[in-house]
Amino acid sequence: MTTEWPAAIAAETVVSAPALEGRHLCLCGFMAAGKTLVGRRLAVRLALPFIDLDERVIAQTGRTPAALIHAEGEAAFRQHEARALEEALNGPQSVIALGGGALLIDASLAAVRARAVLVHLRVSAETARLRALSQPEQARPLLGEDLDETRARLSARAALYAHSDVEVDADGADPSAVTAAVLAGLERLTAR
C-alpha cells in the first residue's frame, strides 16, 4: 500500500539504529496506542519499509480483523495474524505495527523476540477507549462494552507487553514526540 507522507515527515533526518542490527522493529501495545501512526513515522526516519499487520491480514484474507473475529472468532483471527506476522518476519528488515493481541500466541512472541527489537507503546485503558471510540470507522470488537472490560483486557496483556526491549509512554504525547522517544530508546539499547 502506498502512503503519501506530509512534507514535514519526509524532510526529517534519516537516522541509523545500530540496536536493530538487521532485525525488525516491532511495535506492540493495546489497541489505539498509535502503533500504525508512529510506525509509519519510524519507517520514514529509519528508511525502512512499513508493515501494518492488520493490513497484511486484510490483504491475505479479504476481510478486516473485525469481520474475521465476527465470522470465525478471536482464536481463528489470531491464527491468520500469526501467519501474517511470520511472513513479515521472514521478509526484509522493516518496521512492523503488531495488532494489540498479536503476542498472545506463544510462537509469535518467541519469533518476535528472536528476530526483532520490540517496542511497547503504553497507553491507559481510558486513552485507548477515547481514541478507539473517536474512530467509529474502525470497528474494534475487542475493546469491550465499557471501561472495566477495556481495563481487564489491557491488564491481561500487560505481561506480554513486558517482554519489550523499549517502553514508551504514548498516552498523551503527540506522534512526533512518541517517535522521538522510540528513537531515543533505540539509542539507549545501543549504548548498553
Parent domain of 178 = 24-184
CATH assignment of the domain containing 100: 3.40.50.300
Count how many domains the chain has: 1
Instruction: Indicate whether 2 belongs to any domain.
Output: no
Flag whether 41 is in a domain: yes
**Predicted pLDDT at 10:** 53
In a domain, 191, yes or no: no
CA distances from 5 to 9, 94, 108, 184, 191 (A): 6, 17, 30, 22, 31
Please check whether residue 35 is in contact with residue 27, taking contact to mean a CB–CB distance below 8 angstroms. yes
Whether residue 131 is contained in a domain is answered as yes
Do the domain assignments include residue 8? no
Q: Averaged in consecutive runs of 10 residues, what is the pLDDT profile of the chain (192 residues)?
A: 45 80 95 93 97 95 90 92 96 95 94 97 92 70 75 91 96 90 93 74
Residue 11 lies in a domain: no
